[in-house]
Amino acid sequence: MIAGGGTVAVPRMPIPTVGWLAYAKDTEGNLFGMMQSDANAK
């Protein structure tokens, strides 16, 4: 569970040379993705 009541749907995963990607669900069940740039992701 994430602070505020959401849940992790797909844990953070690397996209090599691009960054990190993760998916979560909010308290209403909506799925959304988050991306963090990081050229060193492996």
Q: What is the pLDDT of residue 36?
A: 98
What CA–CA distance (Å, rounded) separates 37 from 39? 7
Q: What is the pLDDT of residue 4?
A: 86
- 3 versus 31: the higher-pLDDT residue is 31
Model confidence, pTM: 0.82
Nearest to 22 by CA among 4, 40, 41, 5: 41
Structure-block tokens of residue 22: 């993760």
Structure-block tokens of residue 29: 């069940």
Residue 2's pLDDT band (boundaries 50, 70, 90)? confident
The three-state DSSP-derived secondary structure of 7-30 is EEEEEEEEECCCEEEEEEECCCCC
